[in-house]
Amino acid sequence: MTATGTPVSTTPGSSLEGLPLLTDKVVVLSGVGPGLGRSLGEEAAKMGADLVLVSRTERRLEKMAEVVRAHGRRALVVPTDINDEDARARLVERTMEEFGRVDCLINNAFGIPPMDPLTTLTVEQLRAANETNVFAPLRLSALFADALAATHGSIVMLNSCVLYQSQPEFAGYKLSKGALSHLSSSLATELGPRGIRVNSVAPSYIYEDVNKGYFDWLASEAGVTHEDIYREKAEPTDLKRLATPEEIARVVLFLASDLASAMTGQTLNVDCGEFHS
């Protein structure tokens, strides 16, 4: 695609209508924002879910709520600092007061670690990222566990294909996502006897607004075009393209649906074939 959104190639499935896979289920979505967070909310509503929308920015949540309601579904806006334990507890209380149930918790919130080699980072810098990327998903999962056990619900962690990379500038990022991967596996074992499934989705580059801007910057630094950068990033993939946020969202929501009722402890790569596991 170009910076203005002109397609380089057609994305299969881009015209799919939402399937009613989540009819009347309640999905708690942390990390409502541009790109993937927005697509997760809208695709869930298209599939019939009611949403609890969670981030620190109320205006952003209200805009997302309008989208959800436009698809005929209910939306509860709960501005929350997910790194604050009292705020997390209030989120659970508000959710249960409004809906009385929870079917899926999607841990999508992400704090970007400094993009520098690990040996140059302070513990404080790493701790700040891991509060959002590891400890908040752990605490939210624990606090929602009783509600999820009552519905035999599920948790989906948003991970990343950075797990398979070793560039020094990605080390702090990989540290967070590696810890989240181990957390997901351990929670799957711990919560499984209660009927709760825990799975992860690992995208590579997602072709959305943040990465489009990043590609523009890379292009300006290298003296090439946005399309050149896109092709460079897509070249390692089998499909020779990058996944859209809607495609990532649909895999996440598949794991939230009853179609995945026997899946737990798994990580699904959604990367157009960049990494094979």
Residue with tokens 């948790």: 155
Choice among 7-11, 63-67, 90-94, 197-201 with the minimum mean pLDDT:
7-11
- Reply yes or no on whether the pLDDT at 132 is more than 50: yes
Give the pLDDT of residue 54: 98
Better-scored residue on pLDDT, 18 or 267 = 267
- Reply yes or no on whether the pLDDT at 2 is more than 90: no
Exposed, middle or buried: residue 201 (CB in 10 Å: 0-12, 13-18, 19+)?
buried
Give the pLDDT of residue 4: 41
**Sequence-ordered list of residues with C-beta below 8 angstroms from that of 8, at least 6 positions apart, any chain:** 1, 2, 227, 230, 231, 241
> Which letter does DSSP use for residue 276 in this model?
-
Residues 103 and 153: beta-carbon distance below 8 Å: yes
Choice among 163-172, 222-231, 248-257 with the minimum mean pLDDT:
163-172
pLDDT tier at 277, thresholds 50, 70, 90: confident
Per-residue pLDDT of 72-85, as tens digits, reads 999 999 999 999 99
pLDDT tier at 9, thresholds 50, 70, 90: very low
Tell me the pairing of strands 154-158 and 26-30.
unpaired
The per-type count for the chain, helices as H runs and strands as E runs, is 9, 7
**Sequence-ordered list of residues with C-beta below 8 angstroms from that of 13, at least 6 positions apart, any chain:** 246, 247, 250
Give the pLDDT of residue 12: 56
Per-residue pLDDT of 188-221, as tens digits, reads 999 999 999 999 999 999 999 889 999 999 999 9
- Reply yes or no on whether the pLDDT at 89 is more than 80: yes
How many CB atoms neighbour CB 270 within 10 A? 18
H-run or E-run covering 270: strand 267-270
Give the pLDDT of residue 17: 62
The token pair that represents 17 in the structure block? 């209508």
Rounded Cα–Cα distance for residues 45 and 20 (Å): 9
- Reply yes or no on whether the pLDDT at 114 is more than 70: yes
Exposed, middle or buried: residue 195 (CB in 10 Å: 0-12, 13-18, 19+)?
middle
- Helical packing angle, 171-191 and 136-151, nearest 10°: 30
Where are the CATH 3.40.50.720 domain residues in the chain?
A: 26-206+244-268
The amino acid at residue 50 is D
| Residues with a known catalytic role | 173
The token pair that represents 99 in the structure block? 């809906």
- Average pLDDT value for the chain: 93
Give the pLDDT of residue 18: 67
**Sequence-ordered list of residues with C-beta below 8 angstroms from that of 23, at least 6 positions apart, any chain:** 47, 48, 49
The token pair that represents 126 in the structure block? 């790493």
pLDDT tier at 35, thresholds 50, 70, 90: confident
> Which letter does DSSP use for residue 206 in this model?
B
Residues 163 and 229: beta-carbon distance below 8 Å: no
Mean pLDDT of 159-175: 93
Q: What is the dihedral of CA 213, 216, 220, 221, to 10 degrees?
A: 60
**Taking the alpha carbons of 178, 181, 187, 189 in that order, is the dihedral positive or negative?**
negative
| CATH of region 26-206+244-268 | 3.40.50.720
∠ Cα 89 90 93 (to 5°): 90
Mean pLDDT of 61-67: 97
Angstrom distances, CA of residue 198 to CA of 20, 27, 163, 195: 22, 14, 18, 10
